[in-house]
Chain A
């Protein structure tokens, strides 16, 4: 089996995971190595993307789902872990690079734009409420941590936006 490069969600660095299949049969066994962690794991599948692992003499139920954009969610031991493949990380980095270069105000959650307090050309101060949005009937006030100037507003009042959507392009005042 090949080496897989995965990046756990958060600030963690990508991790190289080595998988080697040992033997055949209905419950495949794998030798797994990631970092200093080494284990022999037996996989028991009871349905689509769910089952349990046997590792170190203990049983760990798991559930797994692969989302869009190569994100992988794993539930094991009562917790959910997310990771991405190396390809997904590279693609995402490329997408956001252009946005952060010029400075952008993005939607912190999916929802509706309630109020836009600034126009292109306006100056703003750090923490000044620039845009107010609503999601599931809760308000969220968006501001920037620095002083600056508004270049462009890329949303309008009443618009439904996705999480991470760019709502305004800004310039930081040096």
Chain B
């Protein structure tokens, strides 16, 4: 069948982002025949996302605030190069209604919901009220003014009952969020959450919510077009979190019965219709151990974990975003969508699980992602990339798709064991211990999983010995090189002398 061209399709789209998501968005845009415009900060000049673009322009500055969050600079580049639309990715400006409005005012399409919807949903207090009005169950809480009068906050916290959760009204990604177990923890938690929220979002407002113990985090992917169609693309379970940030996601959720799935999906769609939702969005729910579900928040952007949905429903969500943004109707209706098999995603972070997941920085000396049937790697880095303190430490996402959940776990474990990253500490081995843990295999997940389950790193002595052998070979080579009178600081790439022949990137010591 001949491809019917969309008459008013964008010729050029600017991606206002970096890392793996910029790389992933560029791929779809280019496949749609759209020219990709990248922007990059000074430290990102040699980043992978720059090389994937068709054109790339620098942003002045080093920090996120100076660059990927700088609306003026991004809009100036967009105007100068006559882009039709801006794709914000996730994070940065993706949920910034002021930016969405500024794009609109400049005659540039913002690929996402309207500024008005972003504003309403971005304010978690407002979003909760809107969903409650649409008949969706919400978590009990209090959203009064938290400021000088600490007495009122304490009274409300006691009314809700400890433990309570302090959340930023403008929050996301776990920032500006604190669990308060007793009265003594309330004041410092409020201060710290407000400070973090002000720094991260420029909005220090926080609110209180009942802290539900051991809940599951289940979210529904929704999609709306400008013709009044809203569908859901089923759920993703993202219960495995550390520091309130997701690290493993999957679809379907092992916790949902077909009835509960239908009920939650319909609630998400009804509420999305009520607020006039367009483009991609995610309605997050908490599912209590009792099976009750509560609306949590709406993310008005493409999610980090969107590939899980793409693999299970067989749709390209970025393509759908662009189609809807141009004004076309969605290419699928609810009855077209089915969950096929099971998809599992692990987020590969530069962090040290043994040291409280502290971020790790440095240069990536080795980077060998796995491949094979049902394996997808969305990478934002390559060998030689620098991981700096300026940005999120996520290096890549490893996503697998298989017939059943059990096969997906086997595939994930296989792939994790073949993912070599050196130079920075990563959570790869930790993720393998996690997905092969009996409780994970059994699907008994909740958001406190990592606090409750022990994932001890049991060192296999044989592997350690092998590793030492390799290391000794490296040192032996070095000593051999010294004996041959070569310079200690220059390693000729063509040195034929030792076992490390060809290891030109190796530094001498």
A residues neighboring B (CB under 8 Å): 1-2, 4, 6, 8, 15, 17, 19, 28, 30, 32, 34-35, 37, 39, 41, 43, 45, 47-50, 53, 55, 60-70, 72-81, 83, 85, 87-88, 108-112, 114, 134-140, 160, 163
With A62-B470, A78-B429 known as contacts, the answer to whether A67 contacts B365 (CB < 8 A) is: yes
With A74-B470, A108-B358 known as contacts, the answer to whether A49 contacts B366 (CB < 8 A) is: yes
Report chain B residues within 8 Å CB of A48. 493, 502-506
- Contact call B503/A73, Cβ cutoff below 8 A: no
Contact string, B76-101, partner A, CB cutoff 8 A, digits 1/0? 00000000000000000000000000
- Contact call A139/B192, Cβ cutoff below 8 A: yes
Find B468's partner among A1, A17, A136, A160 (CB 8 Å cutoff).
A17
With A110-B361, A160-B389 known as contacts, the answer to whether A6 contacts B502 (CB < 8 A) is: no
Cα–Cα distance between A75 and B466 once the two chains are bound (Å): 10
With A28-B499, A32-B472 known as contacts, the answer to whether A76 contacts B466 (CB < 8 A) is: yes
- Contact call B474/A77, Cβ cutoff below 8 A: no
With A49-B506, A110-B389 known as contacts, the answer to whether A65 contacts B423 (CB < 8 A) is: yes
Of B272-280, B313-321, B412-420, the one touching chain A: B412-420
Report chain A residues within 8 Å CB of B473. 19, 30, 43
Please tell me if B393 contacts chain A, counting CB pairs below 8 Å.
Answer: yes
Q: Considering only CB atoms, which chain A residue lies closest to B193 in the complex?
A: A139
Find B474's partner among A72, A75, A109 (CB 8 Å cutoff).
A72
Report chain B residues within 8 Å CB of A87. 509
For the complex of A and B, list the 4 residue pairs with the smallest distance between their C-beta atoms, beginning with the closest.
A78-B417, A65-B365, A81-B467, A17-B472
Report chain B residues within 8 Å CB of A2. 476, 479
Cα–Cα distance between A134 and B417 once the two chains are bound (Å): 32
Report chain A residues within 8 Å CB of B474. 64, 66, 72
Report chain B residues within 8 Å CB of A75. 366, 420-422
Report chain B residues within 8 Å CB of A114. 195, 199
Contact string, B329-368, partner A, CB cutoff 8 A, digits 1/0? 0000000000000000000000000010011011001101
Report chain A residues within 8 Å CB of B366. 49-50, 63-65, 75
Give B166-214 interface residues, CB cut-off 8 Å to A. Answer: 175, 192, 195-196, 199-200
Report chain B residues within 8 Å CB of A47. 502
Contact string, B494-509, partner A, CB cutoff 8 A, digits 1/0? 0000011111111101
